[in-house]
Amino acid sequence: MEDKYIELLKKKCAETSYRKLMALDNTKLHDFIGKYAGLCNPDSVFIGDDSDEDAQYIRNKALEIGEERELAIQGHTIHYDGYNDQARDKAQTKYLLSEVMELGATLNTIDKEEGLIEVHEYLKDSMAGKEMLVLFFCLGPANSEFSIPCVQITDSSYVAHSEYILYRRGYRQFERIGNSEDFFRIMHSAGALENMVSKDVDKRRVYIDLEENIVYSTNTQYAGNTVGLKKLSLRLAIHKASGEDWLAEHMLVMGVHGPDGRVTYFTGAYPSACGKTSTAMMRGESIVGDDIAYLRHRDGKVYAVNVESGIFGIIQNVNAKDDPLIWEVLTSPNEVIFSNVLVTENKTPFWLGDGREMPESGINHSGQWVKGKKDSKGNEITHSHKNARYTVKLRSLKNLDSKLDDAQGAETKGIIYGGRDSNTWSPLQQSFDWAHGVITMGASLESETTSATLGKEGVRQFCPMSNIDFVSVSLGRYISNHLKFADSLDSPPAIFAANYFLKDKKTGEYVTGMQDKRVWIKWMELRVNNDVDAIKTPTGFIPKYEDLKKLFKQVLDTDYAEEDYIKQFTLRIPENLQKIERITEIYKTKVSDTPNILFSILEEQKKRLKAAQEKYGDYVVPEIWL
């Protein structure tokens, strides 16, 4: 450690904190902490380790300073972000671009020197009057090939508390790595506070330095912008994985339970609010993770781990009927942080779609709330924000899979790509092979926008692999990495496309029920284990009616009408052709290093669709392909 930092940290740290820091023999770590302790100028510096006592200190502090408030049920707290700080700020999330880096035109960048000057200006004295919290976590199971140690600096006890719930503790991981420089660094300050929320959101910045593996976040509290180990570190991990032949993905990991006690593991990539958490939490199956996965190949097979050990989930529409497992966690004594929901006078939280009668008044993200309240623009303020969240430990769930902390990972036999698509994709299809799935289902993924990101809802957005917001290499290289990943595999995982949001062309109503996805996942499990056949169409394999009819009865105890099957699996050729045109245009005009195989696979699919259109018309019922 530089001499100038030694005296500073001795002065700022209590004796126990200083001792914990110096027990980690890592120069790069010490200098990082010393640099920002000097720049941010906190009154004190707290160094956390893996102890329960330090975790409790953070919980208590969040309540003491008012970033969280206790609710009626033991262990439940409420946190509010500022009214204009309710989602990921994509516009102000930028990569620091040096002269030697090339990230491609699709990524949001800022000159590295310019960005560092700006963010350091905002960080200067940002912690005056506060305590700097220095915490250590591990992405992925500890002490495994998947492990990435991380240090988080923050002045927000809410952010720190969230991370203690969401991540594995990592102080001992830093003991293991010694003086290695291979770790992620996160520097966050909520900035000036007003009523315990970030005041200067116009100066909200999230900057990512891929060369130094550092994330900077200022003037924001919303967890998507501040919990550095989440999507911010996903960007660092994607860049790291790109050079090391593994994949860091925006994916769930789950165990699907098949016949005779068989458990088959799947990963799945869905944009926010498109069914990822509800799929991972599916009744009758077991959850490993709901958001971020690392995938590595070993001995010709793919293994996946959940990067996290908790859930930061969208709470809208979570209710007792549709989500009984998570509902039980949210309504019984557990460690739970609610954010941006309504809290009534008796300290009970309410949210949109919870199945209960809406209260007349309470406190929410806008302050004191009454039914009919409007904001400064005349828009009615709902009692709970559409992007309101819950933060819970995975170990609180009864359906937790035993693979959560398995250092070897879960052998993965299927990968699902799902988006919010109202008019094109059928609810379920399987690719012909790995490359066809990567290109036509992963790299071609589109989704209609939701409240999870800032901006207008309902706009169709290009979202390859459900990762466009987080990809940190050029898009062409990212796709090539996926294609190359299968080179050493004996039998690559099957790739599926899922769509829970297809609508009837005439009525505009959804053609699937909320629970139908339980049937789709069971069919996928049977399919990857060669227990069912499928129908080949121009865009992929679809299930046979007889197999789905049997599964609907087994899984949902309902009779599956052939009329519903036809609506769901009729091939919509004009819409599919339009999609190919949109995707091809994007890769031709906006991605300079698109691999040629992408265009050839899309062109082959286009030819198959046109041939079918000439022979059968625009809309082709499934029986035609038999």
Say if residue 597 is exposed, middle or buried (CB neighbours under 10 Å; 0-12, 13-18, 19+): middle
**Do the bridges between strand 310-314 and strand 69-70 make them parallel or antiparallel, or are there none, so unpaired?**
unpaired
**Closest to 450 (Cα-Cα) out of 406, 537, 388, 495:** 388
Q: How far apart are the C-alpha atoms of 300 and 24, rounded to whole Å?
A: 37
User: Hey, is 183 helix, strand or coil?
Assistant: coil
Which position among 40, 150, 274, 463 bears the catalytic label?
A: 274
**Closest to 188 (Cα-Cα) out of 149, 160, 148:** 160
**Closest to 580 (Cα-Cα) out of 446, 382, 389, 410:** 446
Tallying the residues shown for the chain, one arrives at: 626
DSSP 553: I
Say if residue 73 is exposed, middle or buried (CB neighbours under 10 Å; 0-12, 13-18, 19+): middle
274 is catalytic: yes
DSSP E strands in 258-388: the ranges are 263-269, 286-289, 293-298, 301-306, 310-314, 336-339, 342-343, 349-350, 361-364, 367-370
DSSP per residue over 410-448, as a string? Answer: EEEEEEEEE---SSSS-SEEE-SSHHHHIIIIITT-EEE
Long-range CB pairs of 66-73, under 8 A, 24+ apart, other chains included:
66/196, 67/156, 67/157, 67/158, 67/196, 67/221, 68/157, 68/158, 68/161, 68/337, 69/343, 70/347, 71/338, 71/343, 71/347, 71/348, 71/349, 72/346, 72/347, 72/348, 73/331, 73/332, 73/333, 73/336
**Do the bridges between strand 205-209 and strand 214-218 make them parallel or antiparallel, or are there none, so unpaired?**
antiparallel
Q: How far apart are the C-alpha atoms of 87 and 106, rounded to whole Å?
A: 21
CB 625 within 8 A of CB 537: yes
Point out the residues that are catalytic.
274
